[in-house]
Chains A and B, each alone.
Chain A
């Protein structure tokens, strides 16, 4: 498909990130490689603790170091520039201006003692932008994110705004310097459904207007389907499967992805039909299993799954999956029919 049409704005290869804790070293991200293209929306989906947020914080080096540290071969290239080796001072030039970050909870992401306007303008502090210019751009971005009476809102404090408005302000902060990439870490998790739809539409609209690439972290497959061009499915600090939205939804190749699909309700789900949860808990990242991280919860797990990590198999252009079932000698299974549903 469009594999080579757009250029990569962000190239991440062999990213490893761990935290030293009193209990030992937590390997949060293990050998993750992916690219982000100009103008696309890339979804990262996975359950809590699968490493999706840590991966994205690595891009801006927002994880505290120490106790966190990068693996030896980790490389994050933004427009060809290596991020991993940059100092905090050098990172400041990129943060906010080149890559914007939208945090999960708008209620706590804004400083309660600073006006909305000041918080937006702060992105320009130390970047050679005059006060008047900063204010003009702050007002402009407030209008763009759909806030009425920007002049009045500019002077208000976060507690005078509703949750949806606060998230719009958080987005405004991320967008005001017109960055090339926006990382949105579950931007709608704490909002109600109507506001969620508005915020997602807004993100998409901004992408179309400004041409920003977006990395959208979520655990909501509905959001993925609505928003994204491509999807990464993460599990236990690794990428389990990647592909376009259609490939992930209709040509599911990884048992974990299939499990995620089966655990959501659709309009066709009959009233008495039970949703199928994925049994078990995610792997202990203090001592990750030597094989596939999902093996312990996988209903198709074979002996090899516990012993050796699976390699990524290219299934189609864009579509790659990390699973032993795709090995030529593995038995063929139909992931659409879970074991529970098989007999029904």
Chain B
């Protein structure tokens, strides 16, 4: 660990993914990051490493292999359960100083967003927040821009040999996209939005053969200054917006009959063969649905097969969270509502009249 120098670019190699687990369950975001990390590692011609922290987590250690990790580093310590900022920061920075990955990815869960900045500051490197797209290869990045932007790619000089990580994220509430680089320090770090990057199929054979390397990092109770007294799960029903195939979201347009509007949304989701009800910020702020239902820049990013927006005007913050859905159906009484710009099917009309018609039509399919 001697001579660790964050500016010595050549001393760093490999892609590391922090595999977040809570209470013995690795989260979906970790799998998305590993799947993406595999591609980045292949473009660089280097190894992909999973990093797993916890207490009694050896059973999980092979899982990252199923999503492409070449090796999994495991730090198992009773003081690593539950998550604390102090313990996780200490352990991860120590592991990074020893293994020196050129890239470190962390899920932008609310623990990841607590941990990432602390680690980056301690390692003296940059951190991109909430990335939604990552590239190494310049050609692939240009292909992405050709699709996702109106930039004139023939302008300017492109360094096709560049192997730096290009981290793209929405900024200004989704009004702009920015690609961030970290050219002078290592590791290049990013937190990555849950639910955005595609997840590979789990490969059981690869999980079986992956190398697991236990690591010891000295950790004492006194290292943990902010202590967790208890972890409380809310008994409320957990709605999995991110994994849903069909989402019917409601917006301020349900204000004239909130109960009726929510009921229609539930029924429509049901008519699609089972879906979940999401919400715009207006609905969550009004307290009509809990905040875990919120879709958008400050809520969740979703990309279901079908997204139905009922009475949602379509602020850019909302669109940032749903515009990658496969099919978007928008119902709004205002024909000029911005939501229609994102819609595949635009229905300008009263949702209280349109939704029953949709439910009827779906029953006949």
A and B are interacting partners:
no
Which residues does B use to contact A, with CB under 8 Å? none
Which residues does A use to contact B, with CB under 8 Å? none
